[in-house]
Amino acid sequence: MENTKWILDPTHSEIQFKVKHLVISTVTGTFKSFEASLTTPTEDFINAEVQFSIDVNSIDTNQADRDAHLKSADFFDAEKFPAIQFKSTSFEKDGDDYKLKGDITIKDVTKPITFNVEFGGTANDFYGNHKAGFELSGKISRKEFGLTWNAVTEAGAIVVADEIKLSGSVQFIKQA
């Protein structure tokens, strides 16, 4: 079978992250601009090749000052490192769902990551496009990528946790 190419439908996709703040609550952020592709050798997506790129400057936590701080050299250093990149190394069946393994690059540091992938299925939209939907979840240690800024409150609470939970709800369009 010939490989099938799928491209991201950005209007029906989102990428989020969550991090503990002061150890008592969670801050959620999104990236508003990203692109991805999926190349499949089979109809069931096994061994698919997945790539994505996220525009760091599109970060949005609903608080402009925090977003500016996250873009600064204290965190992502978006001027020097404008993109987060991912390239898969495997996409394997795991029960009814999948495990997506690959390398993620943040601030020029590349580390392996595994995403749990829930397959939502395929469907045709009103325009005749064949689409596939997936929900992804994974986590990283921000410090492993040089996102090391931190502070401690007077009471000794850490302001920003190390573990970052990543999630995505993505829809791909099959290319003819």
Distance CA 5, CA 15 (A): 21
pLDDT of 96 over the 90 cut: no
What pLDDT was estimated at residue 153?
Answer: 58
User: Which pLDDT score, from 0 to 100, does residue 156 have?
Assistant: 57
Task: Flag whether pLDDT at 133 surpasses 90.
Answer: yes
Nearest to 61 by CA among 99, 94, 17, 105: 17
Lookup result for tokens 């190394």: 89
Contacts of 143 (CB under 8 A, 6+ apart): 162
Residue type, 140: I
Question: In the prediction, which pLDDT does 155 show?
Answer: 58
**Among all chains, which residue has been given the structure tokens 């150890």?**
23
Residue 151 — very low, low, confident or very high, per pLDDT cuts 50/70/90? low
Q: Are 38 and 71 in contact (CB under 8 A)?
A: no
- We find that the CATH architecture of domain 4-174 is Beta Barrel (2.40)
The amino acid present at 138, given as its one-letter code, is G
Note the pLDDT tens digit of each residue in 43-70: 889 999 999 999 999 999 999 998 999 9
Q: What 3-state DSSP class applies to 67?
A: helix
Q: Is the dihedral of CA 91, 94, 97, 102 positive or negative?
A: negative
**pLDDT by residue (tens digit) across 23-33?**
677 889 999 99
Domain boundaries, the chain: 4-174
For residues 158 and 98, give the distance between their C-alpha atoms in angstroms, rounded to a whole number.
35
Across the range 93-116, mean pLDDT stands at: 95
Q: What is the DSSP string of 83-121?
A: EEEEEEEEEEEETTEEEEEEEEEETTEEEEEEEEEEEEE
